[in-house]
């Protein structure tokens, strides 16, 4: 699958689906895989296309280099003329993940911070390298996404993470059940393939019905700042 714009094709790589599994890679390692407006829109476009691909059963999201994602591109918040586009893109991006009709797996290859933490939270299953860590540093200047995290780790832990901005290391994330596996960095691609492959063994129509139950149960509604 190819994204329309060559520059974005370099920043958001889409492989597959192969054996039912498609992989989206955030490919801005020099920017710590920051989620710019353009990148968010490209990812949302990719999800829309994959949802309609009968050969796709599972989507894996990961990052290039040593960082999963450092979150939104903060330079764009310094440009008032981008405000409408920024929030429209953000709302679409969150909705694309939260309502994606098939299972999603986050292969967290390193730090997942702020919006990168949210991206991992919005996936159905998370596997992580031992270098992964999660935090909400944006607490010092803006809102955090709370509701989906609460559903995964419970109110006590979610409030702690959202109010203090402390770092959740990979080992603690595994203990809490936030991630289902922690492996050495070199082994993460294998673990992600194994996890996605196990999901992809089910018929696509069964996965669609099961994911629909997840979405109904979560009942997540509202725009980015309401989550």
Residue with the two structure tokens 């149960």: 217
pLDDT of residue 40: 95
Residue in 98, 102, 3 with CA at minimum distance from that of residue 51: 102
Q: Please compute the mean of the pLDDT values over residues 132-161 and round it to a whole number.
A: 92
pLDDT of residue 179: 98
pLDDT of residue 3: 43
CA dist., res. 28 & res. 3, Å (int) = 15
Q: Structurally, how many domains does the chain consist of?
A: 1
Residue 182 pLDDT level (bands cut at 50, 70, 90)? very high
Catalytic residue among 30, 138, 169, 194: 138
Write the CATH number for 76: 3.90.226.10
Active site residue 138: yes
- The DSSP annotation for 62-127 comes to EESTT-SB--B-GGGGG-GGGHHHHHHHHHHHHHHHHT-SS-EEEEE-SEEETHHHHHHHHSSEEE
Q: Please compute the mean of the pLDDT values over residues 190-198 and round it to a whole number.
A: 98
CA dist., res. 211 & res. 85, Å (int) = 29
Pairing of strands 12-18, 133-135: unpaired
Query: With 70 as the cut, is the pLDDT of residue 1 above it?
Result: no
Please report whether residue 1 resides in a domain: no
Q: pTM of the prediction?
A: 0.92
Structural domain of residue 12, as residue ranges?
Answer: 6-226
Please report whether residue 201 resides in a domain: yes
């Amino acid at each position: 699958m190819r994204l329309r714009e060559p520059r974005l094709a370099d920043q958001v790589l889409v492989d597959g689906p192969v054996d039912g599994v498609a992989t989206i890679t955030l490919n801005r390692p020099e920017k710590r895989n920051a989620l710019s407006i353009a990148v968010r829109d490209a990812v949302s476009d990719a999800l829309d296309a994959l949802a309609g691909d009968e050969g796709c059963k599972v989507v894996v999201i990961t990052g290039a280099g040593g960082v999963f994602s450092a979150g939104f591109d903060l330079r764009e918040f310094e440009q008032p003329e981008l405000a409408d586009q920024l929030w429209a893109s953000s709302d679409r991006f969150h909705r694309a993940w939260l309502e994606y009709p098939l299972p999603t797996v986050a292969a967290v290859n390193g730090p997942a911070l702020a919006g990168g933490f949210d991206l991992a939270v919005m996936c159905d299953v998370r596997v992580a390298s031992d270098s992964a860590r999660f935090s909400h540093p944006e607490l010092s200047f803006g809102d955090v996404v709370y509701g989906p995290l609460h559903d995964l780790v419970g109110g006590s832990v979610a409030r702690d993470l959202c109010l203090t901005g402390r770092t959740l290391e990979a080992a603690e994330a595994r203990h809490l059940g936030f991630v289902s596996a922690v492996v050495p960095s070199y082994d993460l691609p294998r673990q992600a393939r194994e996890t996605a492959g196990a999901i992809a063994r089910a018929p696509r129509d069964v996965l669609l019905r099961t994911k629909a139950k997840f979405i109904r149960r979560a009942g997540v509604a509202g725009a980015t700042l309401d989550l």
